[in-house]
Amino acid sequence: MLLKLVPENTFIKFINFRKFAYVFSLMMIVAAFGLYFSKGLNFGIDFEGGIMVEIGTEEVADIGKIRSTLSELDLGDVKVQEFGDPKDVLIRLEYQEGMTVDQVVEKVREVLPDAIEGEISYRRTETVGSTVSEELISDGIMAVILAIGAVLIYIWLRFEWQFGMGAVIALVHDVILTIGMFSLTGLEFNLSTIAAILTIVGYSLNDTVVVYDRIRENLKKFRKKPMPELLNLSINDTLSRTVMTSLTTLIALASLFFLGGEGIHGFSAAMIWGIFVGTYSSIFIAAPILLWVELRRDEPDTSPEAGVDVIPPQKGS
């Protein structure tokens, strides 16, 4: 017996709420832009530049103790994380005004023995300059643009141009709201955040394609059904699958968020947010937008001889 979180006979008229959803999404997008231009993003060392120190320890390193010890140096935002192996530690530091890189590293060397037992090997010290940071920012933006462009081509080839337009609008919506969330919360925006945004694009696209597949099937199956009713039917057909997928993914991401450590905190937070906005956009943006772009098929025959479709909604995906 299949587990269903949504009752078999559920039929919610999502399309009836499309105007409210458009207004709500527009307000959220305006707020996201406002936050971005007024508050900006908390760029990490990847984008701002800084100092990276990789060390090796004899025993498994206590990341929390190292982080608290370095925080006492008043060196600004200090990031400490495992680097592949529990005995490999990567320390990220901000540039310090009035101090050279060597002076900053020396201060770190002085206090690390208080947090680490045994011998410490200093494997490498690197600096990320402004030029490299600018390249990383432009490369990250280009990666997101190329991903959305690839989505447009894929949907266009698989469905019709109206579906491609709806999918891209939904994805741009998700990316903007995710950036707005980072601006609001002040979470560090780094390369792992770009990876999270690309993952959100993939997840949201998957949700949207499932709904679009059902819409395409129902376009052939219910040739007399008005378009708003057909869209409602298609969304409800896939609702159980959407809820189940989102819930199980959220459980895994919650574990990463609370237990995964600071190194992936921003990534997991972005993904959790992305699950919500991706699910929302696939239902309230991607599907209803097909009415706005005037997706058409044979108009329903409303003559008395033609009758109407009476096949009840089909559940499942």
How confident is the model over 206-244, as pLDDT tens digits? Answer: 899 999 999 989 988 888 888 899 999 999 999 988 888
The residue with greater pLDDT, 32 or 305, is 32
* Helix locations, the chain, DSSP H: 18-38, 45-48, 63-71, 101-115, 130-158, 161-185, 191-221, 227-237, 239-259, 265-281, 289-292
* pLDDT mean over 266-293: 91
Q: Are residues 60 and 74 in the same domain?
A: yes
The CATH number that applies at residue 198 is 1.20.1640.10
Confidence (pLDDT) at 317: 41
The last residue of a domain, from among 113, 128, 143: 128
Confidence (pLDDT) at 4: 65
Which residue, 150, 132, 164, 151, is CA-closest to 47?
A: 132
Q: Are residues 149 and 245 in the same domain?
A: yes
Q: Are residues 59 and 204 in the same domain?
A: no
Q: Are residues 286 and 200 in the same domain?
A: yes
Flag whether 94 is in a domain: yes
Flag whether 146 is in a domain: yes
Could you tell me whether strands 50-57 and 188-189 are parallel, antiparallel, or unpaired per DSSP bridges? unpaired
CA distances in angstroms from 262 to 182, 194, 256, listed in the order given: 16, 17, 10
315 pLDDT above the threshold of 50: no
User: Is 312 in a helix, a strand, or coil?
Assistant: coil
Number of domains in the chain: 2
Flag whether 2 is in a domain: no
Token pair belonging to 200: 């959100």
Q: Are residues 106 and 245 in the same domain?
A: no
* pLDDT mean over 155-159: 81
The last residue of a domain, from among 94, 128, 162: 128
Q: Are residues 167 and 260 in the same domain?
A: yes
| Full residue range of the structural domain in which residue 146 is found | 14-40+133-290
Could you tell me whether strands 79-83 and 85-93 are parallel, antiparallel, or unpaired per DSSP bridges? antiparallel
Confidence (pLDDT) at 176: 95
166 pLDDT above the threshold of 80: yes
Q: Are residues 59 and 122 in the same domain?
A: yes
Q: Are residues 209 and 250 in the same domain?
A: yes
Least confident of 4-8, 295-299, 312-316: 312-316
Confidence (pLDDT) at 301: 47
169 pLDDT above the threshold of 70: yes
* pLDDT mean over 187-210: 88
The residue with greater pLDDT, 91 or 263, is 91
Q: Edge-to-edge, what's the strand order for the sheet holding 50-57?
A: 79-83, 85-93, 50-57, 120-128
303 pLDDT above the threshold of 50: no
Q: Are residues 285 and 202 in the same domain?
A: yes
64 pLDDT above the threshold of 70: yes
Flag whether 180 is in a domain: yes
The residue with greater pLDDT, 315 or 290, is 290
Flag whether 308 is in a domain: no
3 pLDDT tier (thresholds 50, 70, 90): low
The last residue of a domain, from among 106, 128, 150: 128
Flag whether 110 is in a domain: yes
Flag whether 302 is in a domain: no
Q: Are residues 183 and 112 in the same domain?
A: no
Q: Please enumerate in sequence order all residues whose Cβ is within 8 A of that of 272, keeping only pairs 6 or more positions apart, or say none.
A: 250, 253, 254, 257
State the pTM of this model. Answer: 0.76
Dihedral pair phi/psi, residue 106, rounded to 5°? -65, -40
* pLDDT mean over 86-105: 85
Flag whether 137 is in a domain: yes
284 pLDDT tier (thresholds 50, 70, 90): very high
Q: Are residues 154 and 251 in the same domain?
A: yes
Helix axes of 265-281 and 239-259: crossing angle, nearest 10 degrees: 170
Confidence (pLDDT) at 224: 81
Q: Are residues 154 and 218 in the same domain?
A: yes
Confidence (pLDDT) at 304: 46
Confidence (pLDDT) at 305: 39
The CATH number that applies at residue 95 is 3.30.70.240
d(Cα 210, Cα 135) in Å, to the nearest integer? 36
